[in-house]
Amino acid sequence: MKYLRFPVAAIAAIVSLVAFSAPAPGHADGAPAPFVTEIPNGYRNWQWVSSAHEAGNLNSLGAVLGNDIAIKAYREQKLPFPDGSIIAALHYRYVPSDENNKVFGKVQSFVPGAPTNIQFMVKDSTKFAATGGWGFGHFQDGKPADANFMKPCFPCHQKAKDTDLVFTRYAP
């Protein structure tokens, strides 16, 4: 699963600076990147949408959080998500908790280990019109992935077109 992000409330203030800033990844020609290149402010304070364990090679345990606009849309079951929605997926290694397992007396408790990556989906039907209105973002150690890495996000998320390209369901 892949998600995107956006400089939320600061967009207006930032717009005038964009022309003067160094090109973000994917800006080979100076045009805006077709994906998300900056981590949105305050995402760690957003509300919880759901958790997920991805087994196999991903070996990931994480949470999906949403900003206020996304959470409202989730709760009202409104599709498509309105512009301004941002969904964040925080991923960690899936590891046993030695502390908890001592208490249980067996290996049964698995918790987030080292952070692996953070992904975002940012809804902006104008800016990201070419990718279903969503900008996708992937960050490792705070740095955005490059254009090549981001290419499969949109085609894969199109498989969730019945839910506006969003895989994660809201946990009640």
92 counts as binding a second copy under rule CB under 8 A: yes
**Token digits of residue 41:** 């402010």
**Token digits of residue 62:** 């994480």
Per CB under 8 A, the segment of 25-33, 126-134, 144-152, 164-172 that binds a second copy is 164-172
Based on CB atoms, which residue is closest to a second copy, 14 or 107?
107
Q: How far apart are CA 33 and CA 36, in angstroms?
A: 7
Q: What does the CA dihedral 144, 160, 172, 68 come to, rounded to 10 degrees?
A: 50
* Closest approach of a second copy to the CB of residue 31, in Å: 30
142 counts as binding a second copy under rule CB under 8 A: no
Q: Which of 9, 11, 14, 171 binds a second copy (CB under 8 A)?
A: 171
Q: How far apart are CA 91 and CA 119, in angstroms?
A: 8
Cβ atoms within 10 A of the Cβ of 59, count?
Answer: 15
* Locus of tokens 């001592």: 102
Binding mask 25-54 for a second copy (x = CB under 8 A): -------------------xxxxx-xxxxx
Whole-angstrom Cα Rg for the chain: 17
Based on CB atoms, which residue is closest to a second copy, 11 or 171?
171
Chain residues that interact with a second copy, rule: CB under 8 A: 1, 44-48, 50-56, 58, 61-63, 65, 90, 92, 94, 97, 99-100, 102-104, 106-112, 115, 156, 159-160, 167-169, 171-172
